[in-house]
Amino acid sequence: MVQYEKYPPHDAPHSDVEDIKRNSQYLRGSLEETLKDPITGSIPEDDNRLMKHHGSYMQDDRDLRNERKKQKLEPAYQFMLRVRASGGIVTPAQWLMMDDISHKYGNNTIRLTTRQSFQLHGVLKWNLKNTIREVNDALLSTLAACGDVNRNVMCNTNPDQSAVHAQVYDWACKVSTHLDPRTRAYHEIWLDEEKVIDSRDGVEQEPIYGAVYLPRKFKIGIAVPPSNDVDVFSQDLGFIAIVENGLLQGFNVAVGGGMGMTHGDDKTYPQVSKVIGFITPEQMIDVAEKVVTIQRDYGDRAVRKHARFKYTIDDRGLDWLVAELHERLGWQLQKARPFQFDHNGDRYGWVKGVDGKWLLTLFIENGRIMDDGDYQLMTGLREIAKVHTGDFRLTPNQNLIIGGVTSAKKKTIEALIARYHLTDGLHYSALRRNSMACVALPTCGMAMAEAERYLPELMTKLENQLDAVGLRNEDIVIRMTGCPNGCARPALAELSFIGKAPGRYNMYLGGSFDGSRLNKMYKENINEDEILSTLQPIFGRYAAERNEGEHFGDFVIRAGYVDAVYDGRQFHA
Amino acid sequence: MELQVTNSPFTPEQAELLNRLLPTLTDTQRIWLSGYLTASIQTGGNTGTNAPVPAADTTVNVEAAPAVSKEVTVLFGSQTGNAQGLSKKLAQQLTSQGFDVTLSSMGDYKPNNLKKVQNLLVLVSTQGEGDPPDNAIPFYEFLHSKRAPQLADAKYAVLGLGDTSYEFFCQTAKDFDKRLEELGAERIVSRADCDVDFEEQATEWIDQVLSALGQAQSSATAAGAAAVSGTTDTTEAAAESPYSRTRPFPAEVLENLNLNGRGSSRETRHVELSLEGSGLQYEPGDSLGVYPENHPLLVDELIQAMDWDGNESIVINKNGDHLSVRDALLRHYEISVLTKPLLEKVAGLADHEQLYDLLEEGREQDLRNYMYGRDLLDLVQDYSLKGIPADEFLSLLRKMPSRLYSISSSMQAAPDEVHLTVRKVEYEQHGRQRYGVCSVHLAERLEAGDTLPVYIQHNENFKLPHDASTPIIMIGPGTGVAPFRAFMMEREETGAEGKSWLFFGDQRFATDFLYQTEWQRWLKDGILTRMDVAFSRDTDQKVYVQHRMMERSRELYEWIQEGAIVYVCGDEKNMANDVHLTLEKILVQEGNLSQEAAAEYMSNMLQQKRYQRDVY
């Protein structure tokens, strides 16, 4: 086997985060002590960097920041806790655990994320340990849900009843487990496992990551055509299932996607991944590991906003990447197989699976599970979880599938759905059903503008415009984020808004309905009035001039509003 | 001079030791020792188990004692400083009339000297459930014990300070009065029990005492002058201010904010007031007296219930000053509590049979039950008092008493400002919303730019050590933390290097951590050495400061052994008592003391001012 450079030497240029990781003794840092400090609900920034690898990071209620400062109180520090489940599948018992801890330790809501994870918000420092322990007791984990490691592995949720879903999901879990950090720090800090003095270093303790982990987060997703619900082109590493005659043949491998960018820095951009070949299912773990190690060794450790895998590839070229990968694998990928995606959204309502069991996809606006006045979404789902014998599937579009429902149980579930007015969203506009927003204010420290709290309101105004031109039932993928880091994958939407300042957004047009093409900025830094006045004529023309079956994202390109962008390097052009 | 028991405050053993030591000292050693002793007296006395009587005073008395001089001992037991202030005033008048005055706090007084006393004047306040002030407790207990000497040759008089709205009004004064009589002393003037508005009655009592003590001396002696010169700098400076309790300064509000975050069940006001131009001076540990206004809702309901004309002008004092009925009820009179004397006067005025009934002997419990939690509006409604003219009724009321709050700022750090930390009191009782007079005034009706009548109430019993290197332990949950903010501001400003340790507690960390960012900064900068917090509602088990103290018992004991001064401020009924017991427990556990020895240790700490309390 070919020997290669494991890590860059430490005297190479690197950011301060690299020092923090290197000095952390495999993600321990001083977390044990600072979590106990009773004078502050916060932890120091260095420990917060490490904390991310444990699945949590510190936030504060930004709505209260100024008020509390005047009151001589520190910010309302709280922790976001991300609970991951490969492919987003959990049992009813696990759902009930999440529901329980959100009330005991969180802010009485659960957030379903765009990566099929759960997020709890508002967990106080003093409650972190109990919360994480209960998560682990229910056989879920927060380890590596954030941080410079491989994140939750996404997987198609099988709304199209593919027979191969179970196999694909199984591979997703295997890849995920293989790429878990091996440090015992997590178990020592949160689960009270005995401290092990381990003098081994580097690859001995972390065979894949080494002592400094990755230069930046790393994301893997697995799609099963025709659904591109996982937005496979947004992933650092994507696998596209190739199914022939109902049998899983293997996966096309796609590399170098990623959403994040920085306003005003054209050297940063969202990127779609490129398909580089085909592998058999058994080769998946090997490929994933080797790709991760390439990024480990070549990713930029000096400038974090230039550290994602997409820049590593774009800087050195796709050919270099493939050659390096082949060298590390010791074998070559096969030629990519043909595939066809139709859409990247969810399909709502009941469908019958190939195994004879039913799946119900519920519309969850912006992924927020909560009771809100008469709309007892959280209570309804809890009641369902108490009787449900199948599973719950978190979709990549922040929705929820109640899966594995037997015909016998279907009536019971339907009765509960009706009783709690839960909805498949079919009475909503198609725009709303295809919407996503990140959390943003008040908890996210990076938000420059509202997202989750504002998009529903903006959408109502857009719906009025669409109603006026008869487009209410036209599927248009719309996404909003409070900052350009891209949690709701805005750069792939047909219509998107990225926060710039309170009440002001950049507006992007032209993503494709199947998530294969980036959009492009059409207007910069506009407020709601400008958003509405800009979109009204575009909606009008789309209604009048579109071709049969032409999607909005395709139309705005044909009509000349924006250029088509198939490579992130053209995103700012 | 050969020291003896008769010409010095020392025991035979002490006198013998000193007689052996003193002749051997060089001049340099004598000067050094005198400085050392003086310094330790100022810090509250670390030199022995019994705090010394101001030695200079006694010595001067003895040496200068002219045969014609009549000796008077003035003892005071003071919590907030009122009894102390009156005692100083009395001592000054006695001195100017030629008396040889020994003025002492009960806490500093050596009980052995009692048997030599010819004239004893006792001025003492009463706390809470009829208890003596903290530092008067050892003397009180001594006098009530079997060890108390017979005082057949002594003459005495007692002045009590208290508040008629408390059940055990002036109880400590009553106890002293009774006990001194039992010990055979002769009462020369009847005891005066003064209510919160004490000046007039106290002055009368002083006049009676002066005349009862017989012929005044023609001129002041040097000895007498020296005896009362032990006032601190601040008292002298304060004397320069034209503003006082009887003439409060209208302080402008600079800031008034709620320290409790959203979602708290508490509301704690942080009020910053300007003292600019007042000449008022204070030190950390002092209190601010505040004259609040009654709640306008209560005033208006009262006026309506009595069918009075709010605009009617009435005379409010002997000077013939006028106010409208409404303004008088708002600012001049107390209407929020009921007292037995008030009910008696009202019963008399209205010739009210039911009220007479309630006041009858044997119905004390009914009376207490009725008065508890009720105000003037309840009284006039429950006993249908409508019809009594405003001027007659109002003349029965107590003058609005001031409220004392431990100051939460340092003048060194915030010149010309004084800060308060006040918890809003509001609750429902007897079917009506009740408002804490002062706290609700501060919380609801006081904005920046408004003024508030205030004065400084010095508190000699709660002071930072003069030796800046002395460690301090501060225990102040809730608003009890106020003076410790002042301590920290002061120590930061003066660059004091002594260690400091704060115990704070409240309901919830997230919303009730008063002055959180300031403590964090002081901790970071090393001004505050340690801080432990207890938030009672954050966990299933209610955790209070005393639990945190117990968890740190070893270190706490070590600090105390290093000479740390322990300060406790806040709620008396529960917290201060629990903290006291916890300190005793720590002494037993960590110091291997018996229960009795621990209690004795605490008592000594009190006397030496190494244990100072400002509890309410």
Q: Which residues of A touch B517 (CB under 8 A)?
A: 69, 72-74
Closest CB from A39, A41, A124 relative to B523: A39
Which chain A residue shows the shortest CA-CA distance from B509?
A41
Which chain A residue shows the shortest CA-CA distance from B257?
A71
Do B292 and B454 form a contact (C-beta atoms < 8 A)?
no
Closest CB from B257, B262, B520 relative to A74: B520
Residue B257, min C-alpha distance to chain A (Å): 7
Q: Which residues of A touch B257 (CB under 8 A)?
A: 70-71
Q: Which residues of B touch A70 (CB under 8 A)?
A: 257
- Using the beta-carbon criterion (under 8 Å), do A71 and B261 form an inter-chain contact? yes
Judged by a CB distance cut-off of 8 A, whether residue A65 touches chain B is no
pLDDT at B49: 41
Give the Å distances, CA to CA, from B40 to A153, A227, A320, B532, B567.
71, 85, 81, 30, 18
Please give the single-letter amino acid code of residue B460: E
pLDDT at B44: 46
d(CA B448, CA A72): 18
pLDDT at B406: 97
- Using the beta-carbon criterion (under 8 Å), do B516 and A74 form an inter-chain contact? yes
Q: CA torsion, points B496, B499, B500, B501, in degrees to nearest 10?
A: 170
Q: Which residues of B touch A73 (CB under 8 A)?
A: 259, 261, 511, 513, 516-517
- Using the beta-carbon criterion (under 8 Å), do B261 and A126 form an inter-chain contact? no
d(CA A10, CA A212): 10
pLDDT at A372: 93
- Neighbouring CB atoms inside 10 A of A563's CB total 10
Q: Which residues of A touch B520 (CB under 8 A)?
A: 39-40, 74
Query: Among positive and negative, which fits the CA dihedral A88, A90, A96, A100?
Result: negative
Residue B142 has pLDDT above 80, yes or no: yes
The verdict on pTM exceeding 0.80 is: yes
- Using the beta-carbon criterion (under 8 Å), do B510 and A41 form an inter-chain contact? yes
Residue B50 has pLDDT above 50, yes or no: no
Residue B280 has pLDDT above 60, yes or no: yes
Judged by a CB distance cut-off of 8 A, whether residue A427 touches chain B is no
Give the Å distances, CA to CA, from A154 to A238, A310, A341, A397, B590.
9, 18, 17, 11, 59
pLDDT, tens digit, for every residue of B333-390?
999 999 999 999 999 999 999 999 999 999 999 999 999 999 999 999 999 999 999 9
pLDDT at A426: 83
Tell me what percent of chain A is helix, strand and coil, each rounded to the nearest 5: 35, 20, 45
N-to-C CA span, chain A: 43
Q: Which residues of A touch B518 (CB under 8 A)?
A: 72
Residue B259, min C-alpha distance to chain A (Å): 5
d(CA B480, CA B458): 17
- Using the beta-carbon criterion (under 8 Å), do B258 and A71 form an inter-chain contact? yes
pLDDT, tens digit, for every residue of B380-426?
999 999 999 999 999 999 999 999 999 999 999 999 999 999 999 99
Which chain B residue shows the shortest CA-CA distance from A69?
B517
Judged by a CB distance cut-off of 8 A, whether residue A419 touches chain B is no
pLDDT, tens digit, for every residue of B226-256?
344 333 333 444 456 899 999 999 999 999 9
- Using the beta-carbon criterion (under 8 Å), do B261 and A64 form an inter-chain contact? yes
- Using the beta-carbon criterion (under 8 Å), do A72 and B518 form an inter-chain contact? yes
Judged by a CB distance cut-off of 8 A, whether residue B385 touches chain A is no
Residues in chain A: 573
Do B466 and B496 form a contact (C-beta atoms < 8 A)?
no
Q: Which residues of A are catalytic?
A: 82, 151, 217, 219, 438, 444, 483, 487
Q: Is A237 exposed, middle or buried (0-12, 13-18, 19+ CB in 10 A)?
A: buried
Tell me what percent of chain B is helix, strand and coil, each rounded to the nearest 5: 40, 20, 40
Do A54 and A186 form a contact (C-beta atoms < 8 A)?
yes
A-facing residues of B in 238-277 (CB < 8 A) are 257-262, 270
Q: Which residues of A touch B419 (CB under 8 A)?
A: none
- Using the beta-carbon criterion (under 8 Å), do A72 and B514 form an inter-chain contact? yes
Residue among B73, B453, B65 nearest B289 (CA): B453
Residue B260, min C-alpha distance to chain A (Å): 7
Residue B54 has pLDDT above 80, yes or no: no
Residue A441, min C-alpha distance to chain B (Å): 18
Q: Which residues of B touch A72 (CB under 8 A)?
A: 259, 270, 514-518
Closest CB from A39, A72, A74 relative to B533: A39
Q: Which residues of B touch A69 (CB under 8 A)?
A: 517
pLDDT at B51: 39
N-to-C CA span, chain B: 47
Taking all residues of chain B, what is their mean pLDDT, rounded to a whole number? 88
Between vectors from CA B337 to CA B482 and to CA B135, what angle results, nearest 5°?
A: 45
Residue B510, min C-alpha distance to chain A (Å): 7
Q: Which residues of B touch A39 (CB under 8 A)?
A: 516, 519-520, 523, 531, 533
Residue A58, min C-alpha distance to chain B (Å): 15
Please give the single-letter amino acid code of residue A59: Q
Residue B511, min C-alpha distance to chain A (Å): 8
Closest CB from B510, B514, B518 relative to A124: B510
Which chain B residue shows the shortest CA-CA distance from A65?
B261
Judged by a CB distance cut-off of 8 A, whether residue A40 touches chain B is yes
Residue B404, min C-alpha distance to chain A (Å): 23
Closest CB from A39, A70, A76 relative to B510: A76
DSSP B535-591: ETTSSSS---HHHHHHHTHHHHHHHHHTTPEEEEEE-IIIIIHHHHHHHHHHHHHHH
Q: Which residues of A touch B524 (CB under 8 A)?
A: none
Element (H, E) at A94: helix A92-104
pLDDT at B20: 78
| pLDDT tens for the 573 residues of chain A, in order | 444 555 555 567 899 999 999 999 999 999 999 999 999 999 999 999 999 999 999 999 999 999 999 999 999 999 999 999 999 999 999 999 999 999 999 999 999 999 999 999 999 999 999 999 999 999 999 999 999 999 999 999 976 677 798 999 999 999 999 999 999 999 999 999 988 766 666 667 899 999 999 999 999 999 999 999 999 999 999 999 999 998 999 999 999 999 999 999 999 999 999 999 999 999 999 999 999 999 999 999 999 999 999 999 999 999 999 999 999 999 999 999 999 999 999 989 999 988 889 999 999 999 999 999 999 999 999 999 999 999 999 999 999 999 999 999 999 999 999 999 998 888 899 999 999 999 999 999 999 999 999 999 999 999 999 999 999 999 999 999 999 999 999 999 999 999 999 999 999 999 999 999 999 999 999 999 999 999 999 999 999 999 999 999 999 999 999 999 999 999 999
Provide the pLDDT confidence category of residue B217 given band limits of 50, 70 and 90: very low
- Using the beta-carbon criterion (under 8 Å), do B257 and A73 form an inter-chain contact? no
A-B interface: how many C-beta pairs under 8 angstroms?
A: 47
Give the Å distances, CA to CA, from A272 to A232, A236, A301, A518, B71.
9, 9, 22, 7, 101
HEC profile of B253-300? EEEEEECCCCCCCCCEEEEEEECCCCCCCCCCCCEEEECCCCCHHHHH
DSSP A427-452: TS-HHHHTEEE---TTT-TT-SS--T
Which chain A residue shows the shortest CA-CA distance from B524?
A39
ipTM > 0.85?
yes
Name which of B42-46, B409-413, B462-466 the model is least confident about. Answer: B42-46
Provide the pLDDT confidence category of residue B36 given band limits of 50, 70 and 90: low
d(CA B72, CA B102): 6
Strand partners, A56: A81
pLDDT at A158: 79
Token pair 């002045």 is found at B159
Closest CB from A73, A76, A126 relative to B517: A73
